[in-house]
Amino acid sequence: MLGNMQDFPLLVTSLIDHAEREHGEREIVTRWANGQELRSNWGIVALEARKFAQMLGRLGVQRGDRVATIGMNHAHHISSWYGTAGMGGILHTINPRLHADQLVYVLNHAGDRVLLFDKMFQPIVEAIKDRLETVEHFVLFDNAPASDGYACYRDLIDAEDGDYRWVDADERDPVGLCYTSGTTGNPKGVLYEHRSNVLHAITALQPAVMDLSSRSVMLPIVPMFHANAWGIPFAAAAVGAKLVCSCSNDGGVLWKLFREEKVTFSAGVPTVWLAMFADMDANGGDYGALQRVVIGGSAAPRAMIERLKKAGITVAHAWGMTETSPIGTTGARPHNWAELSFEQQVDIIAKQGRPPYGVELRIVGEDGQSLPRDGKTSGRLQIRGPWILQRYFGSEELAIDEENWFDTGDVSVLFPDGTMQITDRAKDVIKSGGEWISSIELENEAVGCDGVAEAAAVGVHHPKWDERPLLLVVRKPGATIGAEDILDHLQGRVAKWWLPDEIKFVDELPHTATGKILKRALRDEYADYSLATADD
Amino acid sequence: MLGNMQDFPLLVTSLIDHAEREHGEREIVTRWANGQELRSNWGIVALEARKFAQMLGRLGVQRGDRVATIGMNHAHHISSWYGTAGMGGILHTINPRLHADQLVYVLNHAGDRVLLFDKMFQPIVEAIKDRLETVEHFVLFDNAPASDGYACYRDLIDAEDGDYRWVDADERDPVGLCYTSGTTGNPKGVLYEHRSNVLHAITALQPAVMDLSSRSVMLPIVPMFHANAWGIPFAAAAVGAKLVCSCSNDGGVLWKLFREEKVTFSAGVPTVWLAMFADMDANGGDYGALQRVVIGGSAAPRAMIERLKKAGITVAHAWGMTETSPIGTTGARPHNWAELSFEQQVDIIAKQGRPPYGVELRIVGEDGQSLPRDGKTSGRLQIRGPWILQRYFGSEELAIDEENWFDTGDVSVLFPDGTMQITDRAKDVIKSGGEWISSIELENEAVGCDGVAEAAAVGVHHPKWDERPLLLVVRKPGATIGAEDILDHLQGRVAKWWLPDEIKFVDELPHTATGKILKRALRDEYADYSLATADD
């Protein structure tokens, strides 16, 4: 039957159409890896998206084919997303920090026919090129000219006229592909759809999520190969925000861009903020026009929250994962904010926030039964909603239960007002005497201690308690802090029985491709470690 | 084929589910017509919505049936919306200010089976009761107890236990019905759908539209029977905003509520703000916590914009109509706001704003061809998008063209940045010598003149120019202003050839049910008027 309201599919291409039509001159600035700058705008990026779609057609790419990118954040990358979507293709973003075997796996598993890569990743590509089974076209993606037998984006785009009309699509058609970094087994692909991306984009705009408008100047530090840069290139198009993209995450380069481009909003993992603080401490300078920071990937240390807050910056956590598009929760000021003390405000910011309309959360016990939202009980976090995955790419099996719940692998607490606090990854939690110790909370408290640069808590086998915490600590350069200092600091900040049985100083800790501490490697390394207390 | 992301229909009921789950204790305050107060919250309103659904079932209401309300803004009204949607019914809001014949027409045309009405509207209902063909149940809706043979909301709700699960629905199922007031012919019904209402609600949240979060305290002066109170009861649920509802639009009552409930945001037609200013001028007082005002229905006089702006309040127009759910455009600060002078800022606010993602606008000439967005050319405004009507309720004919364009009946100018300015209603525009004179612009400039309370410009037949403007003016109480004063004021503010040929002082002007000046009646009254200049 004919509906009464209009039939408009929610298509990613309608986002770039809107940006071009209503905000065509709003800027998109790219700072390339070689220090050069490209000043573009939504109108130009939209035109290049149409040229990109034409170019893919010329290369023989068909509807439903996958097009891969190994690229940093830049204007070409944004055009490639919209152009691929607009010709019915699927844009596959690849994390360059994956191991070579994983890169080969994801490219072959996705069946990518085209691979665009930034010049800096040419060695990575060449190291695996012979093992790629489906890639027919290799294209230099950033501002590098054609060389070494590779065509380049600029030449290919300039050969097209942009006279292209997006193919008709269904809003449930797939449009993007991103593999989870997968600490065990092969990476698994998450296939985003037009509809899920558009709903996620307009949700991101609201004040309690990212608070975006055409007045925003956003520098997404989070890379486009990491869960769609949290969806920012879609959300920004929905309002015509100015985007500032950097191919370098060097603290000094970023601060310079923040100030020169009057960045008001940024989003990234905690480690990049540490790098930026280090640069600021060394070279001085202020925060420029910065008003709002969203931190995700892992929890921000309390000291980082306090530093940003004292500078007058609205700081909030966001929590999500590749499988959730990624927004699951975001921190936002509750309505009684003005009545809270500084410490109470920081307590709220230190949690992961609340779900926007569209997302539903629950925690379950080991038996799969729902647990209360009492701010105390912790359980496995589950999530459902229109931008949450239901099955992995190429899999016939559902990744959700019969009520749509997707198990996140995180352990968390839910508060009565819906606020969520991650207490650990399910596999990282330290099981001591039948109770759970949060490795993350131990680490965050340890990092708040003067002289500690980084810390990792792992469960080590203990004959009596099953597991007990071992805390691995990297000292700040020049710091002489000892184990007793850290224990003194932890006293009163965590439960007494959470105190690590041993604190071991190391020169560095291993990290995942996305900058998180690689707990699995530490667990392997310390699997047979003998705690000094094991004979207690 | 099984999708990769989850299947979640966009249902109105998921809005109230979210509000109950995540913001259950956030308040909904009702100030009844008799001065009593009801303090409720999203949790209670959600529970009563389930009871309302049960109650409709008990009354024999079936899926797809229509349930009518003639009510002001109050918590019962909100529960009735969600409860009707949740049992698969269609909630039909009726404007009590319609003429009796129109009331009878819309109730019979809609085939309403239940009619809920506030006590104050009992005389209206009783005057038409005998002519209603389908209504089986009449229920007192507000805080009035059962009386005169009518059951009341409270008794019926209290008889239910609330143990109810919403029926499964498709997101394209109809959920709400509102008739246009129709200045010619019979009123026409707009049938809203779950999906259109939900997309409209999450769009309303963004900073450039209504800027809503759980911190907002909203008093929608715009009534729920007027284009869903601009969708506010849906948008507020999506974020758990506090709602303050008043059954009285008396200026003094409203200001008291603003201050007592710490209202941060309000929305209404210009006339209610005039009433509130009058109260403030007479009785003193400040704006309380008010931060943001959205004005729609008709254009705000420049003096009103300036007064609110000088008080530090963010003021913006919104433009839309029943057929557009209603948001079409909203005023928002452009990114270069801080560089603009006070006057330039007021110039922007005086326009109708820009379309959010989802809405597309164009203007066309008499031949139906698109006209340029040059800030000068005016044409008939057309609109399309997922919350724009495609056919009227019960009609087999499409109300849009083959490209989905709906003709609004407004005449407007589009600026290069997408800003829209209504210059007139197509039928009100004054056609003089082949050119168009905006009756609205003449009226707005006239109202800016000291001593003018209200003004209406109508085109009167002229032998040489076809039509020439006649300006009808209501003086402020005690004002002694004359025609020459107004002409002096208009000089330089409008083009010389726009100056009215005659200014006539009247005691009052006729208004439509929604408070706009009833131009049709004036055109009828002055159809044969002889202008003093007609012999020129």
Residue-wise pLDDT tens digits, A21-45: 999 999 999 999 999 999 999 999 9
Which of these is catalytic: B129, B262, B376, B431? B431
* Cβ A52 vs Cβ A76: under 8 Å: no
Contact between chains at B6 and A388 (C-beta distance less than 8 A): yes
Q: In this predicted model, what pLDDT tens digit does every residue of B342-385 receive, in sequence order?
A: 999 999 999 999 999 999 999 999 889 999 999 999 899 999 99
The owner of tokens 């985003």 is A192
B424 band by pLDDT with thresholds 50, 70 and 90: confident
* Catalytic residue list contains B323: yes
Mean pLDDT for chain B overall? 94
pLDDT reading at B431 higher than 90: no
User: Which residue, A114, A134, A128, A135, is CA-closest to A52?
Assistant: A114
> Collapsing DSSP states into helix, strand and coil, what is residue A64?
coil
Residue A412 C-alpha, separation from nearest chain B C-alpha, in angstroms: 17
Contact between chains at A215 and B387 (C-beta distance less than 8 A): no
Number of helices (H) and strands (E) in chain A: give both, helices first. 15, 24
> What percentage of chain A reaches a pLDDT higher than 70?
98
User: Which residue, B245, B213, B232, is CA-closest to B40?
Assistant: B245
Q: In angstroms, rounded to a whole number, what is the distance separating the alpha carbons of residues B259 and B83? A: 31
Size of interface A-B (CB pairs under 8 A): 182
Q: In this predicted model, what pLDDT tens digit does every residue of A12-27 receive, in sequence order?
A: 999 999 999 999 999 9
* Contact residues on chain A for B5, CB-CB shorter than 8 A: 191-193, 195-196, 325, 386-390
**Residue A450 identity:** D
Average pLDDT over residues B209-238: 97
DSSP string, A506-522: -S---B-TTS-B-HHHH
Contact between chains at B3 and A400 (C-beta distance less than 8 A): no
Of the candidates B203, B207, B242, the beta carbon closest to that of A212 is on: B207
| Burial class, A285, CB count within 10 angstroms (exposed 0-12 / middle 13-18 / buried 19+) | middle
A440 band by pLDDT with thresholds 50, 70 and 90: confident
pLDDT reading at B536 higher than 50: no
pLDDT score, position A97? 87
* Contact residues on chain B for A239, CB-CB shorter than 8 A: 206, 208, 356-357
- Judged by a CB distance cut-off of 8 A, whether residue A8 touches chain B is yes
Of the candidates B4, B384, B388, the beta carbon closest to that of A389 is on: B4
pLDDT score, position A404? 96
Residue B509 CA, chain-centre distance (Å), reads 20
Q: Minimal Cα distance from A356: which residue of B?
A: B239
Q: Minimal Cα distance from A323: which residue of B?
A: B5
**pTM for the whole thing?**
0.90
Residue B486, C-beta contacts closer than 8 angstroms, at least 6 positions apart: B446, B449, B452, B471, B473, B503
Q: In angstroms, rounded to a whole number, what is the distance separating the alpha carbons of residues B361 and A470? A: 62
Q: Which helix (H) or strand (E) holds B521?
A: helix B519-525
Q: In angstroms, rounded to a whole number, what is the distance separating the alpha carbons of residues B157 and B141? A: 11
User: Which residue, A345, A523, A351, A339, is CA-closest to A422?
Assistant: A351
Residue B386, C-beta contacts closer than 8 angstroms, at least 6 positions apart: A5, A6, A8, A10, B195, B196, B199, B358
pLDDT score, position B500? 95
Average pLDDT over residues A150-161: 98
pLDDT score, position B514? 66
Residues 150-189 of B with CB under 8 A from A: 172, 174
Which of these is catalytic: A323, A445, A454, A467? A323
Contact between chains at B211 and A212 (C-beta distance less than 8 A): no
Of the candidates B5, B211, B385, the beta carbon closest to that of A389 is on: B5
Q: Respond yes or no on whether the N-terminal peptide bond of residue B326 is cis (omega within 30° of 0).
A: yes
Q: In this predicted model, what pLDDT tens digit does every residue of A500-512 receive, in sequence order?
A: 999 999 999 998 7
- Judged by a CB distance cut-off of 8 A, whether residue A397 touches chain B is no
**Residue A213 identity:** S
* Cβ A190 vs Cβ B3: under 8 Å: no
pLDDT score, position B263? 98
Residue B400 C-alpha, separation from nearest chain A C-alpha, in angstroms: 9
Pairing state between β B27-31 and B37-41: antiparallel
* Catalytic residue list contains A180: yes
- Backbone φ and ψ of A34, nearest 5°: -85, 10
pLDDT reading at B463 higher than 60: yes
Task: Tell me the CB-side half-sphere exposure of residue A13, using CA atoms within 13 A.
Answer: 25
pLDDT reading at B322 higher than 60: yes
Residue B203 C-alpha, separation from nearest chain A C-alpha, in angstroms: 7
Residue B142 C-alpha, separation from nearest chain A C-alpha, in angstroms: 29
Q: Where are the beta strands (DSSP E) in B185-333?
A: 189-193, 217-220, 242-246, 265-268, 292-295, 314-320, 327-330
pLDDT score, position B99? 87
* Contact residues on chain B for A393, CB-CB shorter than 8 A: 4
Residue B137 C-alpha, separation from nearest chain A C-alpha, in angstroms: 27
* Contact residues on chain A for B383, CB-CB shorter than 8 A: none
pLDDT score, position A438? 85
| Burial class, B411, CB count within 10 angstroms (exposed 0-12 / middle 13-18 / buried 19+) | buried
Token output for B232: 């506010």
Which of these is catalytic: B48, B323, B443, B467? B323
ipTM of the complex: 0.90
Average pLDDT over residues A99-110: 95
Q: Minimal Cα distance from B208: which residue of A?
A: A213
Average pLDDT over residues B310-315: 96
Q: Minimal Cα distance from A199: which residue of B?
A: B199
Does residue A495 or residue B22 have the better pLDDT? B22
pLDDT score, position B382? 98
* Cβ A451 vs Cβ A475: under 8 Å: yes
Least confident stretch, A251-255, B118-122, B463-467, B507-511: B463-467
Q: In angstroms, rounded to a whole number, what is the distance separating the alpha carbons of residues B235 and A207? A: 13
Contact between chains at B3 and A190 (C-beta distance less than 8 A): no
Token output for B76: 């019962």
pLDDT reading at A1 higher than 70: no
- Judged by a CB distance cut-off of 8 A, whether residue A324 touches chain B is no
User: Which residue, A425, A411, A508, is CA-closest to A184?
Assistant: A425
- Judged by a CB distance cut-off of 8 A, whether residue B316 touches chain A is no
Distance (Å) of CA B360 to CA A170, A265, B9, B363: 20, 28, 24, 11
Q: Minimal Cα distance from B389: which residue of A?
A: A5
pLDDT score, position A383? 98
Contact between chains at B193 and A417 (C-beta distance less than 8 A): no
pLDDT score, position B426? 81
* Catalytic residue list contains B476: no
Q: Minimal Cα distance from A355: which residue of B?
A: B22
- Judged by a CB distance cut-off of 8 A, whether residue B262 touches chain A is no
* Cβ A89 vs Cβ A61: under 8 Å: yes
DSSP string, A194-237: HHHHHHHHHHHTSTTTT---TT-EEEE-S-TTTGGGGGHHHHHH
Candidates B1, B206, B360, B382, partner chain A, best to mutate (most A CBs within 10 A): B206
How many other β-carbons are positioned within 10 Å of the β-carbon of residue B347? 14
**Residue B474 identity:** V
Residue B298 C-alpha, separation from nearest chain A C-alpha, in angstroms: 24
Of the candidates B199, B203, B418, the beta carbon closest to that of A21 is on: B418
pLDDT reading at A437 higher than 90: no
| CB contact burial A10-19 (16+ within 10 A = b; e otherwise) | bbbbbbbbbb
Q: Minimal Cα distance from B200: which residue of A?
A: A202
B523 band by pLDDT with thresholds 50, 70 and 90: confident
Residue B330 C-alpha, separation from nearest chain A C-alpha, in angstroms: 12
Residue B372, C-beta contacts closer than 8 angstroms, at least 6 positions apart: none
Least confident stretch, B124-133, B135-144, B513-522: B513-522
- Judged by a CB distance cut-off of 8 A, whether residue A386 touches chain B is yes
pLDDT reading at A536 higher than 50: no
Distance (Å) of CA B310 to CA A290, B89, B290, B313, B345: 27, 46, 13, 7, 12
Contact between chains at A390 and B332 (C-beta distance less than 8 A): no
Q: Minimal Cα distance from B174: which residue of A?
A: A4
Contact between chains at A5 and B358 (C-beta distance less than 8 A): no
Residue A503 C-alpha, separation from nearest chain B C-alpha, in angstroms: 41
Least confident stretch, A495-499, B181-185, B233-237: B181-185
pLDDT score, position B212? 98
* Contact residues on chain A for B217, CB-CB shorter than 8 A: 335
Which of these is catalytic: A262, A376, A431, A464? A431
Of the candidates B4, B333, B404, the beta carbon closest to that of A215 is on: B333
Pairing state between β A406-414 and B406-414: unpaired
Mean pLDDT for chain A overall? 94
Does residue A298 or residue A82 have the better pLDDT? A82
Q: In this predicted model, what pLDDT tens digit does every residue of A61-89 receive, in sequence order?
A: 999 999 999 999 999 999 999 999 999 99
* Contact residues on chain B for A10, CB-CB shorter than 8 A: 386
Residue A257, C-beta contacts closer than 8 angstroms, at least 6 positions apart: A29, A31, A219, A244, A246, A263
Q: Minimal Cα distance from B199: which residue of A?
A: A199
- Judged by a CB distance cut-off of 8 A, whether residue B441 touches chain A is no
